């Protein structure tokens, strides 16, 4: 029985997706729930599982094409591959005679069958099907065959030309080889990120305020309790949980930073869904810690670690990337010393963390060396006043410098 493979509903605001890699080729057997193809939406990359065991009969959409939700993009032949027919005596005789016919007519060659994913790979690399040895059923050329051929070709050094045919390489030729360009289409996720960042710049009045935090208190606390914390909860006590707690504390004091503009109204949120920017396999994504005010330090660290792992594997769910009332972005893990983060619309604030550096600072009339971190708070000036933004960032600084304040709630 032939089953239609349709684009599933990914999210309430998503109407179309971009076809990613086909994980199975036409004619290849699949098991039930085994991933068939990746679908890239504006928020996440998901996999379409096989509704039943069988054979991928046909892929109607190629990689890079756009399909709407509910559209048929392929067919699955349920029930597995058809049984092989036993060869009759006549068939066996024809098989034995086949080599002789091939010798009698050496000029006639059969065109190799190319799977859709392999055809795309051939076109991208400017290759012909005749150059690649197929290893699929019936000698079909698979995408893996093309990639293997490219790797083997790259490993082999180019054969030197005969002496009489050698021509000097001109400077123009060497320049053209060194100045090659590669044109790669933007992924749907990257296009959406770009559009929304530009939209945030145009639709909001963004302003950034800066401060710096002495990380000595947090580092001493991690050194004293880090080993016991990891032994009990099986996760390291990182810096991010302190900043999540400090941000929630500041947002309670200055609720405009936890609000958003909706038409001509201001919507104040009585909950704290903190977005944590993490690097994914296809770019920066911002999964959300729901009700962060209710989470313990261990729960925050476990959730962030899980987000980071699944982001690298492109396995975050769409609903985990939706919503959020405030965002924290840590550019310090990549070595950033100072930056101006952009608000994740329709939110009104984003906290930027940076690298910790040992710097000389004045303490009680003396110059001492302390581990310092620059903090940046970008806010929407349409509903957050400068006084509120500066005071909120100062509150975060004070909470991080004296972590006991977060536990005492003072």
Q: Which residues of 28-61 are buried (b: 16+ CB within 10 A; e: fewer)?
A: bebeeeeebbbbbbbbbbbebebeeebbbeebeb
Phi then psi for 397, rounded to 5 degrees? -60, -50
The rounded distance, in Å, linking the Cα atoms of 330 and 224 is 24
Q: Which pLDDT score is estimated for 370?
A: 97
All structural domains of the chain: 2-78 (2.40.50.100), 206-408 (3.30.559.10)
Instruction: Give the residue among 383, 392, 390 at the shortest CA–CA distance from 259.
Output: 383
Q: Which pLDDT score is estimated for 92?
A: 44
| pLDDT averaged per 10 residues, the chain (length 410) | 84 76 87 86 78 88 86 83 45 44 45 72 80 75 80 62 50 58 77 77 90 96 93 93 96 96 93 92 84 95 93 84 93 92 93 96 95 97 95 96 74
Going by DSSP bridges, is the β-strand pair 259-262/45-49 parallel, antiparallel, or unpaired? Answer: unpaired
Q: Which pLDDT score is estimated for 104?
A: 41
Instruction: Give the residue among 111, 113, 122, 116 at the shortest CA–CA distance from 146.
Output: 122
Q: Identify whether the C-beta of residue 372 lies closer than 8 Å to the C-beta of residue 212.
A: yes
The rounded distance, in Å, linking the Cα atoms of 36 and 5 is 9
Q: Which positions are catalytic?
A: 381, 385
Torsion of CA 303, 304, 305, 307, to 10 degrees: 90
Q: Identify whether the C-beta of residue 313 lies closer than 8 Å to the C-beta of residue 340.
A: no
Q: Which pLDDT score is estimated for 328?
A: 97
Q: Which pLDDT score is estimated for 105?
A: 45
Q: Which pLDDT score is estimated for 391?
A: 97
Token pair of 100, please? 């002789």
């Amino acid at each position: 029985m032939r089953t239609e493979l349709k684009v599933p509903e990914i999210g309430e605001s998503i109407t179309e997706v971009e076809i990613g890699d086909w994980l199975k080729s036409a004619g290849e057997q699949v098991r039930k729930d085994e991933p068939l193809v990746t679908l890239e939406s504006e928020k996440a990359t998901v996999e379409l599982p096989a509704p039943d065991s069988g054979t991928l009969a046909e892929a109607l959409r190629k990689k890079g094409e756009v399909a709407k939700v509910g559209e048929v993009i392929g067919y699955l032949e349920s029930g597995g591959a058809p049984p092989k027919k036993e060869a009759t005596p006549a068939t066996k005789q024809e098989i034995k005679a086949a080599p002789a016919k091939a010798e009698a007519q050496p000029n006639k060659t059969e065109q190799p069958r190319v799977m859709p994913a392999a055809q795309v790979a051939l076109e991208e690399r400017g290759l012909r099907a005749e150059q690649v040895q197929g290893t699929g059923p019936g000698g079909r050329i698979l995408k893996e065959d093309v990639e293997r051929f490219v790797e083997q070709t790259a490993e082999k050094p180019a054969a030197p030309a005969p002496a009489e045919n050698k021509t000097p390489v001109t400077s123009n030729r060497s320049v053209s080889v060194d100045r090659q360009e590669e044109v790669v289409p933007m992924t749907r996720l990257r296009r959406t990120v770009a559009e929304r960042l530009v939209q945030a710049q145009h639709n909001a009045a963004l302003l950034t305020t800066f401060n710096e935090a002495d990380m000595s208190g947090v580092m001493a606390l991690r050194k004293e309790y880090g080993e016991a914390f990891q032994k009990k909860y099986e996760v390291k006590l990182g810096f991010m949980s302190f900043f999540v707690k400090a941000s929630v504390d500041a947002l309670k004091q200055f609720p405009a930073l936890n609000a958003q503009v909706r038409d001509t109204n201001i919507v104040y949120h009585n909950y704290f869904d903190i977005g944590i920017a993490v690097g994914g396999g296809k770019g920066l994504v911002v999964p959300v810690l729901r009700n962060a005010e209710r989470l313990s330090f261990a729960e925050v660290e476990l959730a962030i670690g899980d987000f980071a792992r699944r982001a690298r594997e492109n396995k975050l769910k769409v609903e985990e990337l939706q919503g959020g009332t405030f965002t924290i972005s840590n550019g310090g893990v990549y070595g950033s010393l100072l930056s101006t983060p952009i608000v994740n619309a329709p939110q009104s604030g984003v906290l930027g963390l940076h690298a910790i550096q040992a710097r000389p600072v004045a303490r009680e009339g003396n110059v001492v060396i302390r581990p310092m971190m620059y903090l940046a708070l970008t806010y929407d000036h349409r509903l957050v006043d400068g006084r509120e933004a500066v005071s909120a960032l100062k509150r975060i600084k004070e909470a991080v410098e004296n972590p006991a304040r977060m536990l005492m709630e003072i």
